[in-house]
Chain A
Amino acid sequence: MNHLSEEDLILIYYGEPGASEGAHAHLAECGHCKAAADSLARTLDLCNEWSAPAPATGFERSVWARLAPQMDSKRRSWSIPRGWIAVAATVVLLVGAFLLGRGSRAPQPTSSSQSIMAGLSDEARARILEISLADHLDRAGMLLTEISNAGDAGSLDFAMERSRAQDLVEEGRLMRQTLARQGASPTLTFLDETERFLLEVANAPDSVSPREVRELQQRISSGSLLFKVRIIESNLRTQGQKL
């Protein structure tokens, strides 16, 4: 058997399943791999020196003091990100301003966004578009994550998720319009794919059954939709940082 890969050694260190067949037996007999495993363990053990500070005395009380006033209403629904609409509006303004900077006539940015964007270079506008796209995917990812993690005990109030999906569809169309002007790209294709799913959510009833939730979860899982969202979002942010 060949020597163990670093991945195998990491899995063995953490006691995870999935190491190559015979990896444990090989490790017991091979001095080279044993040395590599010991080296990995020393490094990871060193990371254990990083411990979180203990919160101050009364920490629990202060958490509760801040939390209690926000618990006045309790509804059985998924969470609603604060400032959702404001953030979406900002994205629309930024994309609109991007289009303005590229000489487009549509959509119509406000005078404030025009003044903010006036004088920015093409590079700066490209960066703003990438950040806006990444933010859009971030919000789409949050919605997908919540749907993926929804339990299956009884019908779920879906009104807020529908509304969020509708906002995302509108926002996504602006993004696609902007990207389409730059020609076909994998990101554009992916936005099309994401929109098809979001449209399903946007057109769902106010209350969905566990079966319908499972179907949505299956759609997310079978197309690795959430994973792709995270990867493309991460790539966009990396590109934005390089500019």
Chain B
Amino acid sequence: MDHIPIAQGDEVAIDKARRGDPDAFRVLVERHARPVFRLAFRMTGNEIDAEDVVQETFLKAWKQIGKFDGRATFGTWLHRICANCALDHIRARKRKQDLQVVPRAESNGHGDEPLARVATEAPSPERLALSSQVTAILGPALGELSEMERAAFVLRHYEGLGIEEISAALGVQPGAAKHSVFRAVQKLRRALEPVMNLR
């Protein structure tokens, strides 16, 4: 495997990977796996699904790297693929759940929800109480967002993508992406209102 210095941008590795060099692609995997995992986790809400999405993302990227045109950064391009893989994954998961007809009431409202993982570095009792309330109230609300609302919110809020980029990533019109963000924020605000009143 040719040495590709860490300090070098992705261009050299991309160029080699385009020509079918798997070792060069490995460099890209090692550089981007963690950010892709973060996005996959936020969209799917659990680590197991997120790892599957990471896998699907890189496999798709390998197959499509010839189409990467360099207009966006490689990381942005990967995130678009990841967002779509995560959406497909969530839909497939929902289909399974629909067919199993699992009553929603069986969920304890914590375990599978993303906000069950609210970070609490050096948690004070107050912080723990707040996190607990956020988890209990907002967790189910996040689960109630449509796939598109959740995806648009995660890409806007956590990934910092603009509306135009979100619309390109999700394959919808900019207006639809914008309104998905609006609806998500409005629903999350309503859900968090009781917690905010206590602060």
Quick check: B117 and A53 within 8 Å, CB to CB? yes
CA A156 – CA B29 in complex, angstroms?
Answer: 25
Are A50 and B115 touching (Cβ within 8 A)? yes
Is A42 touching B199 in the complex (CB atoms < 8 A)? Answer: yes
Q: Which of A66-111 contact B (CB under 8 A)?
A: 66-68, 70-71, 74-79, 81
B114 beta carbon closer than 8 Å to chain A: yes
| Residue from the list A11, A39, A75 in contact with B196, Cβ < 8 A | A39
Q: How large is the interface on B (under 10, 10 to 19, 20 to 34, 35 or more residues)?
A: 35 or more
* Residues of A with C-beta under 8 A to B47: 53, 55
Interface size on A, residues (CB 8 A): 57
Q: Quick check: is A52 within 8 A (CB to CB) of the other chain?
A: yes
- Tell me if A71 and B67 are in contact (CB < 8 A): no
Is B172 engaged at the interface, CB distance under 8 Å to the other chain?
yes
Whether A67 pairs with B98 at a CB distance below 8 angstroms is no
Q: Is A16 an interface residue (CB 8 A)?
A: yes
- CB of A151 within 8 A of CB of B67, answer yes
Docked complex Cα distance between A49 and B33 (Å): 22
Cβ contacts under 8 Å, B29 to chain A: 60, 63-64, 67
- A109-147 residues with Cβ-Cβ distance < 8 A to B are 131, 135, 138, 141-142, 144-145
Residues of the A chain whose Cβ atoms lie less than 8 Å from the Cβ of B6: none
Contact with A along B35-74 (1 / 0, CB 8 A): 0011001100001001100110011101110111100000
Chain B interface residues (CB < 8 Å from chain A): 20, 22, 25-26, 29-30, 33-34, 37-38, 41-42, 47, 50-51, 54-55, 58-60, 62-64, 66-69, 80, 84, 88, 91, 94-95, 98-99, 114-115, 117-120, 131, 134, 138, 146-148, 156-157, 162-163, 168, 171-173, 176, 178, 181-182, 185-186, 188-189, 192, 195-196, 199
| 9 A–B contacts, CB within 8 A, in A order | A59-B37, A63-B55, A67-B58, A68-B26, A74-B63, A75-B63, A77-B63, A135-B95, A145-B171
